[in-house]
Amino acid sequence: MQELIAVGDRAPDFTLPDQNNRKVNLVGLSADRRVLLVFFPLAFTGNCEGELALIRDRLPEFENDSLTTVAISVGPPPTHKVWSSAQGFLFPLLSDFWPHGAVAQQYGVFSERHGYPLRGTVLVDRDRTVLFADVAEAGAPRDATVWERALRLA
């Protein structure tokens, strides 16, 4: 795993398909709001489902006039479509499928050993400056305080 992107770094732009196969890019997302990037290992897994359900259940905190939130994993758009429909996730689930994990690698949250991103949380300002960055160890859930620390800066 590469080193986690640092606070103060410029967040790399990316363009990825969402669960509806629409192209989403960081430059467009950050044009008028801060962006919370929520990297997760895999759809249809317990910890990931619980974390994204928290976002779903508290959506006004994660999606408002000053902040937008996207979740990113290596799963393909059709998988994300089925999962997001079943779970009622109304925020974008972006597919970092090919090149496999390239965006997660740029942000320093990709586990080569596992072949998927770890639970990374990165808050990006409108000028693409990283305001917050955290990553959980492989197999570990996101620290319970991560959401509050990131949202406080949003």
Q: Is 107 a catalytic residue?
A: no
Among residues 11, 24, 48, 123, the one annotated as catalytic is 48
> Residue 65 has what DSSP assignment?
S
d(CA 65, CA 137): 32
Q: Which residue, 60, 35, 39, 65, is CA-closest to 153? A: 35
Nearest-angstrom CA–CA distance, 112 and 37 = 20
Question: Helical H runs in the chain?
Answer: 26-29, 46-57, 59-62, 77-87, 102-106, 146-153
Active site residues: 48
